[in-house]
Amino acid sequence: MSNVYNEMSIPRNECYTTRAESDKLINYLNAHHIIDKENIIWLPFDNKLSNIYKSLTMGGYNVMLSNLENGLDFYDYEPEKWNLIITNPPFSERSKLLKRLVSFGKPFIILQAIQFFNNKNAIKLLCTNEFRFILPEDRMNFLTYNEKEDIIKSSKNSCAFYSFWLCYKLPLMNVFNYIESNGKEREIEAYDKNGNIIIDNHMNLFNYKEKL
């Protein structure tokens, strides 16, 4: 049996966003006219295999990528032109991450876990800046590398912790904004190393709910 407390400490930095969650976020932003299609959206921790990148480009958004794979460190590099950041950043070094993000003075949307509220520097920022939250109905599932199968795959058990989208300087109506689950989050996603989808019809048992 897995240790919930070990999971809560988020020992792995490489937890990727599922297509179900990235599509749901972009659909929400579209439906509420939150971001302009003419904006340049910077993804500083992503590549072309990222589901956030795929969802944004499929939605017709102008996307700019940078990452360590290309020798571009978020803490040293900034594109000449950009309007908004959307990304699922590494879970570690949260204080350093937030300080860098806020220093730009531009809008951003980042994925965070409930452990965010254990960080005193993060709490100080929340109390002094223009933050909003987009809150999923259920706990998210994540894609991680499955060494045994040599693929990227989401889990049947979901996560022990709750995750949410932290938003800065965006025209959201409320401080807390709710997204209902649509059922796709329950499907297990799997990809090979080239980003090709591996068909898997199993459901995520942790999030499974019978429809009334």
pLDDT band per the 50, 70, 90 thresholds, residue 160: low
pLDDT band per the 50, 70, 90 thresholds, residue 201: very low
What is the C-alpha to C-alpha distance for residues 94 and 77, in angstroms, rounded to an integer?
A: 18
pLDDT band per the 50, 70, 90 thresholds, residue 152: low
pLDDT digits (tens, 9 = 90+) for 122-137: 899 889 889 999 999 9
Cα separation of the two ends of the chain: 32
pLDDT at 109 over 90: yes
The pLDDT of residue 63 is 95
Mean pLDDT of the residues in the chain: 80
Please state which of the ranges 10-19, 21-30, 72-81 shows the lowest mean pLDDT: 10-19
pLDDT digits (tens, 9 = 90+) for 40-83: 999 999 888 888 999 999 999 999 999 887 788 999 999 999 99
Share of the chain above pLDDT 90, in %: 42
pLDDT band per the 50, 70, 90 thresholds, residue 145: low
What is the C-alpha to C-alpha distance for residues 147 and 30, in angstroms, rounded to an integer?
A: 36
The pLDDT of residue 196 is 63
Q: Does the domain at residues 4-142+162-182 carry the CATH identifier 3.40.50.720?
A: no
The pLDDT of residue 16 is 78
What is the C-alpha to C-alpha distance for residues 72 and 82, in angstroms, rounded to an integer?
A: 15
Residue 152 in contact with residue 14, Cβ under 8 Å? no
Please give the average per-residue pLDDT across 13-28, as a whole number.
84
pLDDT at 8 over 50: no
